[in-house]
Amino acid sequence: MADLHTPDALLVKNYVEGNENALATLIKRHESKIYGFIYSKIADRDISNDIFQDTFIKVIKTLKGNSYNEEGKFLPWVMRISHNLIVDHFRKTKKMPMYRETEEFSIFSIMSDDSLTIEGKMIVDQVELDLKKLIEELPEDQKEVLVMRMYQDMSFKEISEITGVSINTALGRMRYALMNLRKIIEKHQIILTN
């Protein structure tokens, strides 16, 4: 077998000239990097083995056909071939990469359920109910503006037209409504949170 310290380029040259052992050395040297790269994308041992095999069949055909030019390095070239075969594989199967549950990786680390828990929903409902009760405590003119703005999503222009006051007055009433709400909350030490 060829020396393990022989550079890749020389091994490739030897192989092209007919030294079959040079290929064995190249495979031994790079197999874990190439296979590891394929497996990291495919996550299936059997398919990774197939792609590894197809990669080297292409490598052999190219080298034996004298179509390889040592422009870049051997390993990046082989990696590029395997990358293209991985892309082909996903195109053929039209599947997204499959993730397997391992000790280090849980599928739930990339999937999450953002909806509220039952407890969370109850808290939100309670907060809304409390807030409505607080709003009922406000003076009528302030309550009217706040409800229109917050619950009916009206603009201050619309509010001023409906209530027959200027926009500035509507803004002022909204401001006092919020200040009064804060005062009531502080006074009764109400905790509104979710």
Partner 1 sequence: MAKIYSKKALASKDLKPKKEVVSFILNYSQALTVVKIEDKDFEIIAN
Cβ 42 vs Cβ 30: under 8 Å: no
**Count of residues touching partner 1 (by CB under 8 A):** 27
The nearest distance, CB 114 to partner 1, in angstroms, is 16
Cβ 160 vs Cβ 169: under 8 Å: yes
Residue 107 contacts partner 1 per CB under 8 A: no
3-state secondary structure of 42: helix
Rule CB under 8 A: which of 12-71 touch partner 1? 20, 23-24, 27, 31-33, 35-37, 39-40, 43, 48-49, 52-53, 56-57, 60-61, 64-66
By C-alpha distance, which of 39, 61, 63 is closest to 52? Answer: 39
The nearest distance, CB 54 to partner 1, in angstroms, is 10
Cβ 20 vs Cβ 56: under 8 Å: no
Q: Which of 70, 87, 90, 105 binds partner 1 (CB under 8 A)?
A: 105
Q: Residue 126 and residue 133: Cα distance in Å, rounded?
A: 11
3-state secondary structure of 44: coil
> Residues in the site for partner 1, rule: CB under 8 A?
20, 23-24, 27, 31-33, 35-37, 39-40, 43, 48-49, 52-53, 56-57, 60-61, 64-66, 102, 104-105
